[in-house]
């Protein structure tokens, strides 16, 4: 009898632990609509993804910031892919690359291991950026179990 009680108790504890350990779906805290400090900024959960374009150098940057729009190293992605549509309808593939290495091999006297970092700035370079002052950019950013599909309707703004 005592063995049956222990067995039932062990099964109950296992089921209780399994129920507590099950992953609950993550929900992003979508911020209420608000003004942004910088143009071409999109909300991504509790963070922002900002597009910055340098036409002189033919570069585009995706910058990640917290809800107060301060820079934050957020993603562990080497690259972010998307596409641009130019005013004449021409399509261009875009690949943003992390501006810093995301993994580094740490070597100690007796052992080594990989250090994995997060990035906050991604860059894409292309000659078409130098001559096109307007375009639509679509990127998909996987983050915290969700994919954020972002569309930037970019038009150069006077400074």
pLDDT per residue as tens, the chain (159 positions): 555 544 444 454 454 444 443 333 333 444 456 677 778 999 888 888 999 999 999 999 998 888 888 888 888 788 999 999 999 999 999 999 988 765 545 555 565 545 555 668 899 999 999 999 999 999 999 888 899 999 999 998 766
Q: For the chain, how many structural domains are there in total? A: 1
Asked if the structure places residue 4 within a domain, the reply is: no
- pTM recorded for the entire structure: 0.69
Asked if the structure places residue 71 within a domain, the reply is: yes
CA distance 114 to 122: 22
Q: Token pair 């001559």 is at which residue?
A: 131
Asked if the structure places residue 133 within a domain, the reply is: yes
Asked if the structure places residue 93 within a domain, the reply is: yes
Asked if the structure places residue 79 within a domain, the reply is: yes
Q: Is 92 exposed, middle or buried (0-12, 13-18, 19+ CB in 10 A)?
A: middle
CA distance 24 to 123: 34
CA distance 122 to 71: 12
Q: What share of the chain is helix, strand, coil (3-state, %, to 5)?
A: 15, 45, 40
Q: Which residues of 131-156 are buried (b: 16+ CB within 10 A; e: fewer)?
A: ebeebebebebebeeeebebebebee
Give the domain extent around 68. Answer: 27-155
Asked if the structure places residue 130 within a domain, the reply is: yes
Asked if the structure places residue 134 within a domain, the reply is: yes
Asked if 117 contacts 100 with a C-beta cutoff of 8 angstroms, the reply is yes
CA distance 21 to 89: 50
CA distance 86 to 99: 25
Asked if the structure places residue 122 within a domain, the reply is: yes
């Amino acid at each position: 009898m005592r063995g049956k009680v222990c067995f039932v108790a062990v099964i109950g504890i296992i089921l209780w632990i399994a129920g507590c350990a099950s992953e609950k779906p993550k929900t992003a805290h979508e911020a209420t609509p608000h003004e942004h400090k910088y143009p071409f900024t999109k909300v991504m959960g509790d963070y922002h993804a900002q597009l910055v374009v340098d036409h002189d150098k033919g570069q585009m940057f995706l910058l990640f910031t917290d809800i107060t729009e301060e820079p934050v190293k957020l993603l562990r992605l080497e690259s972010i892919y998307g596409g641009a549509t130019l005013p004449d309808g021409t399509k261009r593939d875009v690949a943003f690359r992390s501006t810093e290495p995301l993994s580094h091999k740490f070597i100690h006297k007796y052992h080594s291991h990989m250090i994995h970092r997060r990035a906050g700035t991604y860059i894409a370079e292309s000659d078409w950026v130098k001559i096109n002052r307007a375009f639509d950019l679509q990127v998909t950013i996987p983050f915290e179990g969700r994919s954020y599909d972002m569309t930037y309707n970019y038009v150069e703004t006077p400074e």
